């Protein structure tokens, strides 16, 4: 960690207060960062190596709406073969850099029938069906407790702040429960019916490990899903990664607007 922080601080003196993780097809926000210092993950000691060709990923530090932020453009997934500790290492780095609030984004399949592709959903809670937990193994008591509470894993005040930002921008928002599956195959129609019966509204292959680690180290955390497709078996056509990326691209403008509004609200809150 010492080496990681030295490398990042050797590139920029920015002390970020907010962290943002951009999911599949949602990387565009990083382009809005002012005076960005962009560090490829491959140049950061301790960061895993991405296995997805062309998606190396980078850490972008700079100002958004006048708020010092650190943005992850690309994340590490369980389905790539990364172990859970590697997946959440960047979250611990953000906390060590001084980040207080963490906002995660992802692309997700709509399980709830009131959702449609292009909708945005604030995650109120999750169901972890991926069989991964980044806290398995020895616990570092200085980072957080052995048995962290997840009752308010998606911070209620932070969610209210997102709702308020969306209202001001007239961006409709859904709220719901996100189920994490391991992937990389999409779910079967029977699995989607099971998830709906369990109370899930959206399904994806990320975010949950990061949320657990962020709560463990005391970050106020929130997450927003971009519904990129209806989950398996709802519509007659098969699911493709292309549909996920294309819908992400269509929602990009709305999503970027909302994220900027949220960061602006964080800035106001910090200065009041």
Q: Which of 119, 187, 191, 210 binds ligand HPA (CB under 6 A)?
A: 187
Measured from the CB atom, is 93 or 129 closer to ligand HPA? Answer: 129
Please report whether residue 87 would count as binding ligand HPA according to CB under 6 A: no
Beta bridge partners of 227: 108
Please report whether residue 108 would count as binding ligand HPA according to CB under 6 A: yes
Please work out, in degrees rounded to the nearest 5, the angle formed at the alpha carbon of residue 108 by the alpha carbons of 88 and 215. Answer: 30
Rule CB under 6 A: which of 24-83 touch ligand HPA?
none
User: 3-state SS of 177-205?
Assistant: EEEECCCCCCCCHHHHHHHHHHCCCEEEC
Please report whether residue 200 would count as binding ligand HPA according to CB under 6 A: no
Q: Please, what's the b/e burial string for 148-172 (b: 16 or more CB within 10 A of its CB; e: otherwise)?
A: beeeebbbeebbebbeebbeeeeee
The answer to whether 174 is a known catalytic residue is no
Around Cβ 80, how many Cβ atoms within 10 Å?
18
Q: Please tell me whether residue 74 adopts helix, strand or coil conformation.
A: coil
The answer to whether 24 is a known catalytic residue is yes
The answer to whether 206 is a known catalytic residue is yes
Please report whether residue 195 would count as binding ligand HPA according to CB under 6 A: no
End-to-end CA distance of the chain: 32
Q: Which of 59, 122, 203, 265 binds ligand HPA (CB under 6 A)?
A: 203
The answer to whether 185 is a known catalytic residue is no
Residue closest to ligand HPA, measured at CB? 109
Catalytic residue among 79, 96, 133, 194: 79
Please report whether residue 225 would count as binding ligand HPA according to CB under 6 A: no
Please provide the DSSP assignment of 31-55 as one string. Answer: GG-EEEEEEEGGGSTTPPPP-STT-
Please report whether residue 109 would count as binding ligand HPA according to CB under 6 A: yes
Binding residues for ligand HPA (CB under 6 A): 107-109, 186-187, 203-205, 228-229, 231, 239, 244
> Any idea which residues carry the catalytic annotation?
24, 55, 77, 79-80, 107, 205-206, 229, 241
């Amino acid at each position: 960690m010492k080496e990681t922080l030295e490398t990042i601080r050797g590139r920029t003196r920015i002390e970020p207060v907010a962290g943002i993780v951009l999911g599949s097809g949602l990387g565009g926000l990083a382009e809005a960062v002012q005076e960005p210092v962009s560090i490829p993950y491959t140049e950061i000691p301790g960061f895993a190596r991405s296995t997805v060709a062309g998606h190396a990923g980078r850490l972008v530090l700079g100002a958004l709406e006048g708020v010092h932020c650190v943005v992850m453009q690309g994340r590490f997934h369980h389905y790539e073969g990364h172990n859970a500790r590697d997946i959440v290492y960047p979250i611990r780095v953000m906390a060590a850099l001084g980040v207080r609030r963490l906002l995660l984004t992802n692309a997700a399949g709509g399980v709830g029938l009131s959702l449609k592709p292009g909708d945005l959903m604030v995650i109120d809670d999750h169901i972890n069906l991926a069989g991964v937990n980044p806290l398995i193994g020895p616990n570092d008591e200085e980072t957080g407790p052995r048995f962290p509470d997840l009752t308010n894993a998606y911070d209620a005040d932070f969610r209210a702040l997102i709702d308020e930002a969306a209202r001001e921008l007239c961006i409709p928002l859904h709220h719901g429960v996100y189920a994490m599956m391991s992937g990389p195959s999409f779910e079967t129609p029977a699995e989607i019916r099971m998830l709906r019966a369990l109370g899930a509204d959206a399904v994806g292959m990320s975010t949950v490990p990061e949320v657990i680690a962020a709560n463990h180290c005391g970050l106020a955390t929130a997450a927003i899903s971009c519904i990129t497709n209806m989950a398996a078996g709802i519509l007659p056509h098969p699911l493709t990664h292309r549909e996920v990326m294309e819908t992400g691209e269509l929602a990009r403008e709305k999503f970027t607007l909302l994220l900027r509004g949220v960061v602006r609200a964080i800035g106001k809150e910090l200065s009041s």
